[in-house]
Amino acid sequence: MEAERRAPKSEALRALYWRSEILQLLYWLRGEGLGDLVDPPLLERFLGVDAATGLRYLERLTDDGYLDRDGDWFVLSAHGLQQGTLEFAATFSELNRPVRGDCSADCWCHVSGEEAAACAAGRGETTTDEHAGT
């Protein structure tokens, strides 16, 4: 599946990648009022990961305390919800960065780290390595 090909190749990074994808999906479903529960077929529909692989990651997240299991279904645990709050903060800060699209294409901030820092300072924000690398 395409989603599997896109995921990192090393098992450790792969686990982190799917943890993030699955947790984000659970928060998204909650936010949209589409329920709190997921199962492997739902992961397949939403994330494009085959059900057997999805189940493996769901079980792993359950073992790690992010999810609680109820039969075939999985739900965010209190720890998983707390982790989500941290991820919200991280994602929100992404928007505060000057990234592609925030500045015009000819802005000097795309050229070097120093220029990125100067640009961010001018906008009253802090710069990041990602921005400096653009």
Binding residues for another protein, rule: CB under 8 A, are 6, 25, 27-34, 42, 45-48, 88, 91-92, 94-95, 99-101, 105
Q: For residue 4, which of 40, 48, 51, 42 has the smallest C-alpha distance? A: 48
In sequence order, the 6+-apart residues with CB closer than 8 A to the CB of 30 are: 36, 76
> 125, 132, 126, 96: which is closest to 111 by C-alpha?
132
Closest CA to 54 of 77, 32, 72: 72
Nearer to another protein (CB atom), residue 85 or residue 112: 85
The residue (of 9 and 45) whose beta carbon lies closer to another protein is: 45
Q: Which is nearer to another protein, 62 or 96 (CB)?
A: 96
